[in-house]
Amino acid sequence: MPRPLKLAVSIFFVSFSLSVSAARPQLPPAWDGSPARFDSRTYAYMPPVRIVAQDEPGLISGCDLLLESGNGQSDLQNARICVLRSRDGRRPGLLLDFGRELQGGLRIVTGMPADKRPVRVRIRFGESVSETMCDIDGVNGASNDHAVRDFTLALPWLGTVECGDSGFRFARIDLLDDDRELHLKQVEAVFQYRDIPYVGSFRSSDERLDRIWATGAYTVHLCMQEFLWDGVKRDRLVWVGDLHPEIMTVNSVFGYNEVVPRSLDLARDTTPLPGWMNGISSYSLWWIIIHSDWYRYHGDRAYLAEQGLHPTKDNPRYGLYLSPLREEHMPSFKVDYVRNLWYDFGLGEGGSIIDLVMRLERCDFAHAVRLLRNRERVPIAAPRSLSPLSTVPALRILSDTPLRHSALLDYLRRRGIVPEVTCTYCREIRYTINGRKYFAIGFPNDAGGWELRSECFKGSASPKQITTIDNRTDTVIAFEGFMDFLSCLSTKHPDQLHIDVNSIKLGRQSSESASVSRTPFDDSCFLRQ
C-alpha cells in the first residue's frame, strides 16, 4: 500500500491574471431544466465604414445613411431610409466595407415600401473587394465551401433578418426582383468574438513588425470561436496540427482560455482509438505535445496553498518551498512562476509540472496528463520514501588542467575579465553529463568541489562550499560569486590586494563521484567539446 504523498499532482503556474468569470447563463423558469447549450461568445453589431461601390447608382438613394449607427429596430416613421429600385431589367447593388476582417454575418433592417411582398436579394461575402465581386466559379478561389458566402435571401416588409456565417470584411447586396423597391434602414455586420483582454503585448522599433504581431494576435482571436478553428472562412474546424501555433499565441496574448481544453477534448472525443486525429498520425502526436506545452504554461498555483504548502520566500517571479520529493528543513525547492518550471537544489533536478507528476506518481507521460486533467488529489502527509537515485553520477569530472581553451578565454574577455587573472585562480575542467563530454572554467571551493562556468552553462560539482583566500590582513572582502571576484581583480592590479596565490586551494576533484548542483533554468545548452 503506497504511502500518501506530501504533494498531489495538480500544481501551480499561473502566468496571467484571470478575470472573474460572469455567472453562468440560465434558461427562463418556463423551460424548467430543459437541455440547452450556451454560447460563450459576444455579439457586436458594426455599421459599414464606407460604401465601396454602387451598381446602377441612378437607382439608389440615401446609401450614405447606412454608415450611421442604428438601434437594430424597424419603425413606422420610415425615415432616413436607403432605397434601391429595379427598373427596365436594371438591378442595383451595393458593396459595403466593414473596415477589417471579422467572423459573423449580417443583420438587415428593412423599411416599408408600398409593396409588402418579400424582396429577394443576393448576399455575397468576401475578404477582399475582388473576391466579393467574383462569382462562384471554382477558378478564381471564390467558393461556398465550409462557409456559404453567396446566397439568395428573401427580406421581409418592416422586419429584421440575420443571415450568414463566415469570415469576411466586405459584403455585397444585389436586388434580384424586377420592378421592386428595397428599403434598407440598417445593414450591420454581426461580429462574433470572445470578449477577452489582450494581456500580452509586443513593441519594437519597427512599426511594420508591430503591425504584423497585432495582425497575428487578432487573427488567432477571430479563430477563438466556440472551438479553436484553423480559420474563420475555411475550414472552420479543429485541426490539431494547426492548434499548436495557435495555442502558443493564446498563451502569449490571452493567457488561459477555456477554448483550448474544449478543443483538445473535442479532438479526443471524436477520434476513437485506434484512429488518428484528423486522419493524420502526426496530428495525434501534436495533441500530446500541445498538452505538454499547455501544462507548462498553466496550472493552479493556489493548489500549493490548498495543500498547506506555502513559500518561505515569495515574489512575483518565483517562490521557495520545502521539497515534496524528500525530507528537508530548509526550503530548496524553487518554483519559477514566469517560466513555469521547478528545480530542486538538493537533488540537482528540475523540469515541468508533468516531470514532477511523473516523478511523484512513478507513471508515464499519458498517466500524468490524465491526473492533471482530472485534478486528482491525495491527502497531505510526510513524503513517501522514494527509490534511491541512480548511482551513476549526473556530473563526472574527468580532468582539471591549466586554462587554455580559446572559447573560454574569449568568453572571459567579452565579460570584461582579464584572462591572465583568471588563469591564476581557475582551471580548465573537462567533465561529462550522462556520458556527453563538455568543458568549462572551474573555480575550486574549500571542500574540493567546483563552480563551473562557460558561455552556455552555469553550475557546480559537489560538494558545495565557499572558497576562502587568506589575504593575511584584517580586511575581509566578500563576493557573491567567483565571477564577481575575477571582475574585481580585473579592475585592480593584483599586488594592490596583496593576495597570496599559493593560499588558494586548487584541489583536484575525484572523477569517481561528483553530483551536479546546477542553477535552474540556465542549462538549456552547453559549450560542447
Tens-digit pLDDT profile for residues 20-60: 344 567 888 898 878 888 888 999 999 999 999 999 999 99
Residue 309 banded pLDDT, cuts 50, 70, 90: low
Decide: helix, strand or coil at residue 465: coil
Residue 438: pLDDT over 90: no
pLDDT score recorded for residue 428 = 95
Average pLDDT of span 484-508: 59
How far apart (Å, rounded) are the C-alpha atoms in residues 438 and 64?
72
> Does 2 have pLDDT greater than 50?
no
Is pLDDT of 512 > 50?
no
pLDDT of residue 1: 44
Burial bucket for residue 37 (CB in 10 Å: 0-12, 13-18, 19+): exposed
Q: Could you tell me which residues come within 8 angstroms of residue 305 by beta carbon, excluding any fewer than 6 positions away?
A: none
Using pLDDT thresholds of 50, 70 and 90, give the confidence band for residue 451: very high
Cα 223 from Cα 253, distance rounded (Å) = 14
The pLDDT of residue 143 is 79
Q: Are strands 333-336 and 341-344 parallel, antiparallel or unpaired?
A: antiparallel
**Fold (topology level) of 43-193:** Jelly Rolls (2.60.120)
- Which cell is 213 given? 504581431
For residue 150, the model assigns a pLDDT of: 93
- How high is the pLDDT of residue 463? 82
Model confidence band, residue 292 (pLDDT cutoffs 50, 70, 90): confident
Residue 420 has pLDDT above 90, yes or no: no
Confidence at residue 316, expressed as pLDDT on a 0 to 100 scale: 66
Question: In sequence order, what are the beta bridge partners of 154?
Answer: 120
What amino acid occupies position 199? V
Percent helix / strand / coil, the chain, rounded to 5: 25, 25, 50
Range ranked top by mean pLDDT from 3-17, 325-339, 432-446: 432-446
Distance CA 403, CA 419 (A): 9
Which of residues 352 and 178 earns the better pLDDT score?
178
Q: In what order do the strands lie in the sheet with 349-351?
A: 313-314, 318-321, 333-336, 341-344, 349-351
Given this model, what pLDDT does residue 374 score?
59
Q: Give me the pLDDT at residue 101, please.
A: 97
Q: Supply 365's cell numbers.
A: 507521460
pLDDT above 50 (res 389) = no
Query: Is the pLDDT at 308 greater than 70, yes or no?
Result: no
Per-residue pLDDT of 115-126, as tens digits, reads 999 999 999 999
pLDDT (mean) for 329-356: 76
What is the rounded distance in angstroms from the CA atom of residue 167 to the CA atom of residue 131? 12
What band does 386 get if pLDDT is binned at 50, 70 and 90? very low
pLDDT at 17 over 50: no
Query: Quick one: average pLDDT of 504-523?
Result: 36
Its sign, for the CA torsion 336, 334, 460, 348, is: negative
Instruction: Name the residue with higher pLDDT: 314 or 499.
Output: 314
**What pLDDT is attached to residue 221?**
97
**Which letter does DSSP use for residue 386 in this model?**
P
Domain with CATH 2.60.120.260 in the chain: 43-193
- Region 155-171: what's the mean pLDDT? 96
- In this structure, are residues 350 and 343 in contact, taking their beta carbons and an 8 Å threshold? yes
What pLDDT is attached to residue 138?
64
Provide mean pLDDT across the span 421-436.
87
Mean pLDDT, rounded, for 171-188? 97
Mean pLDDT over 385-391 rounds to: 40
Which whole number is the average pLDDT over 305-311? 56
